[in-house]
Amino acid sequence: MRIIENHSLKSLNTFGIDVSARYFAEVETLNELQQVYDLFPIETTPHLLLGGGSNLLFTDHYEGLVIKINLKGIEVVEENESEVVVKAAAGEDWDQFVSFCVLHGWGGLENLSLIPGHVGSSPIQNIGAYGVELKDCFESLEAFEKDNGQVRYFSAQACQFGYRDSIFKREAKGKYVILSVNFRLRKKNHLLNLGYGAIQAELQQRGVLQPTIADVREVVCSIRQSKLPDPAVTGNAGSFFKNPVVEQSVFERLKAEYPGLVAFPDKGGMKLAAGWLIEQAGWKGFREGDAGVHPLQALVLVNYGKASGGEIAALSEKIKASVSKTFGVSLETEVNIV
């Protein structure tokens, strides 16, 4: 392990923002992680954990220590005739892990295909797509506690999962480094989630009448690739905003005024499609310098080349203000702004 000074982060964040870290370390073992925190105590040096760099926006150089988590490994820790518990290290690429599971016939994560990022950050955000959330297959995780250097285990209940939310975004924010995550997956009698119309339509178009988990993964990848820009080509972090959840009365008022409103039932009321709101407010395809809104998916903000993080953040604030003025609905960012 090496400590590098003034290290460029441009290739380590999917927005491609050209910033650097005052100090940078890449850790591959728990022992190396412990060494880093011994050398740079959290009381004296700001720390930022970096996985795939797919859910953050840098607005300036980072005047502290950036730790890239590169712990690797996938193993079966429990198995019976119908289920398997798979342990994945925090530094594993998320989509490659999903692919690994599908190839082995383990079902549950296929709807979460092609989501950028690493396994370690997936519980923090409780990532979700096409009717499935990480919590649906989550078994447990192990995490390094920064204050005392101990390894602690978290059950699903202890993680307090919510919509794009967990305890690690609230009272436990900044206190732990996730080391690995355990998932409980089905080996047979797969419970496919085909509730989203786009998945059903694509399966029908392909003539797939009895889909497998491999079919679902292939379809989800195809849908995402058709709608979302490739970060390797156009800098982005996927969905920039959360879908807002509103009370039933608010939904009914908006639906009466805007019959085309896209929404889905949610335990807290109705979940509105943020992309639809942004598009109706006139932002889809908008561009200001090299900061813009993707022309095919209004939920995605993009860097067309040399936009600064500050310019993209400023654009996001204009969009939030516009949606609030038009619909009376507040948008919350899904991307972490640093």
pLDDT tens per residue across span 154-199:
999 999 999 888 999 999 998 999 999 999 999 988 989 887 778 8
Per annotation, catalytic residue among 180, 239, 308, 316: 239
Q: What is the pLDDT of residue 166?
A: 94
Q: Is 239 a catalytic residue?
A: yes
CATH 3.90.78.10: which residues of the chain? 235-337
Per annotation, catalytic residue among 22, 152, 164, 287: 164
Q: What is the pLDDT of residue 185?
A: 97
Helix (H, G, I), strand (E, B) or coil at 272: strand
Q: Which fold has domain 74-186?
A: 3.30.465
Q: Is 164 a catalytic residue?
A: yes
CATH 3.30.43.10: which residues of the chain? 3-69
- Segments of the chain scoring below 50 in pLDDT: none
Cβ–Cβ under 8 Å, residues 52 and 94: yes
DSSP string over 172-211: TTTTEEEEEEEEEEESSS------SHHHHHHHHHTT-SS-
Q: What is the pLDDT of residue 230?
A: 86
Of 167, 164, 160, residue with least CA distance to 122? 164
Q: What is the pLDDT of residue 53?
A: 86
Q: Which fold has domain 3-69?
A: 3.30.43
The 10s digit of each residue's pLDDT in 8-18 is 999 999 999 99
CATH code at 235-337:
3.90.78.10
Q: Check: pTM over 0.75? Answer yes or no.
A: yes
Q: What is the pLDDT of residue 195?
A: 78
The Cα–Cα gap between 61 and 5 comes to 12
Q: What is the pLDDT of residue 168?
A: 95
Q: What is the pLDDT of residue 26?
A: 95
Q: What is the pLDDT of residue 217?
A: 96
Cβ–Cβ under 8 Å, residues 242 and 320: no
CATH 3.30.465.10: which residues of the chain? 74-186
Of 148, 135, 146, residue with least CA distance to 172? 146
Q: What is the pLDDT of residue 43?
A: 86
Q: What is the pLDDT of residue 200?
A: 86
Q: What is the pLDDT of residue 113?
A: 96
Sequence-ordered list of residues with C-beta below 8 angstroms from that of 57, at least 6 positions apart, any chain: 13, 15, 17, 237, 309, 312, 313, 335, 336, 337, 338
Q: What is the pLDDT of residue 269?
A: 87
The Cα–Cα gap between 60 and 21 comes to 10
